Amino acid sequence: MPYKILYIANVRHRITEDVNRGMLLKLNWLVGHTDYECYWAMTGKQEKQMAQSELLRPEVSIVRLDVEEYPTIGQASRVEKLVRSWKWRREYKSGLAKVYRKYAPDIVVTTLKHKNDILYATIGKGINVVEMLTDEDQLFLAEENIGTFSNRLMAYLWRVYRMSSIYRRLKKIQVIVVPSDGLVNKWKGNLSCVLHIPTPLSDIPDSISDGEAKQVMAVGTFDDERNFEQLLWGWRRLVAVYPEWKLRVYGSGDPSSFVELLKKLKMSRCVKYSPIPANLDMAYRQASIYVQDVRFDPQGYGLMEAMSYGLPCIASDAPYAPRDIISDGVNGFLSPEGHSMDFSIKLGLIMRKASLRKKMGEEAHSTSKEYHLDKIMPRWKQLFDDVILSMKKKK
């Protein structure tokens, strides 16, 4: 009788976005290359999104969680937020318990990325593998720099309490999987079994960018982690030297501050913004360089995807993935975080030298092959095999 693996979808995201897209890729690979029975637990709304996308292989069984969507709390009072959150966690825990009883999975996998994910990521005794996509500093430290001294003090005390609670729960998990070496070092001091498995790429294009187009591209969400505005200031310096080059930004979220700065700097002719399309294939093929100025990047998926199209990458050396993926001076450049001038100099060097773009692009494409599903997923299979073997020994 085959062993059962249950993945729990991240209820804070659409089923085809972000962390859930990673689950989808893994599940499709597992049912095609292993004997495991694979299940995917999700909300009713996510199930409808999945049906519309037609991306999931039919061998993967969808399990509907008997729970409402994660509550949108908005401007509610602190007490009201706590009450709603508590009610939802209770409902979610009950829904998971029903799934565990009905399907009796041998391995349960979930993800942890946002601070609120912790409210459900470690609920239930059945979970034995957690894919950790963040670190403790990113979960709470930002809150400690907001508001008055008393607010900062309360945020600090709240963080200490929450982190102690998180560690108590995570220490019960058999394996913590992280997508970068830096996160291994971050978590292993407090957790016993932390394993590095990179985020996989689903496809590696055969044909890549020829590096001839005078276009630089950037992709991401307009939030505190992406420093698009600093990128604009740096581009202002470069375009004065290389007026034939264009910067193309594809973003999600609220772009109002970015668009406002773009108008203020009068750069609309050399910088184009548009929402992220459903498929970035054509965008990558029309570009010659990929840039990423971020404060935190645990997975580096955007860098890997750009490299698969033969784009040399320039990224801020932010925690943690960029330094795992970019070999400085080989397939791109790393720039010290916050050093706008250094970033601009390195970008200008690749813009100026076509031969360097081509050479780095070829190296980038070669690097991306190491992250293909068929290279990464055998490591997940081995992990699941080891978990099953450990369970057998305990019995």
Instruction: Give me the pLDDT at residue 140, please.
Output: 55
Task: Give 207's Cβ-side CA count (13 Å radius).
Answer: 5
Write down the pLDDT at residue 354.
95
pLDDT at res. 31: 96
Instruction: For 140-183, write each residue's pLDDT tens digit.
Output: 554 545 567 777 777 777 777 777 777 777 777 888 899 999 88
User: Does the bond joining 320 to the residue before it have cis omega, within 30 degrees of 0?
Assistant: yes
For the chain, what is the mean pLDDT?
86
| Structure confidence by residue, pLDDT tens digits, 111-143 | 877 655 555 555 555 568 888 887 766 655 545
Query: What pTM was estimated for this model as a whole?
Result: 0.88
Domain architecture of the chain: domains with CATH: 4-200+373-394 (3.40.50.2000), 215-371 (3.40.50.2000)
Q: Which of 16-20, 246-250, 259-263, 318-322 has the lowest mean pLDDT?
A: 16-20
Per-residue pLDDT, 160: 76
Contact between 201 and 304 under an 8 Å Cβ cutoff? The reply is yes
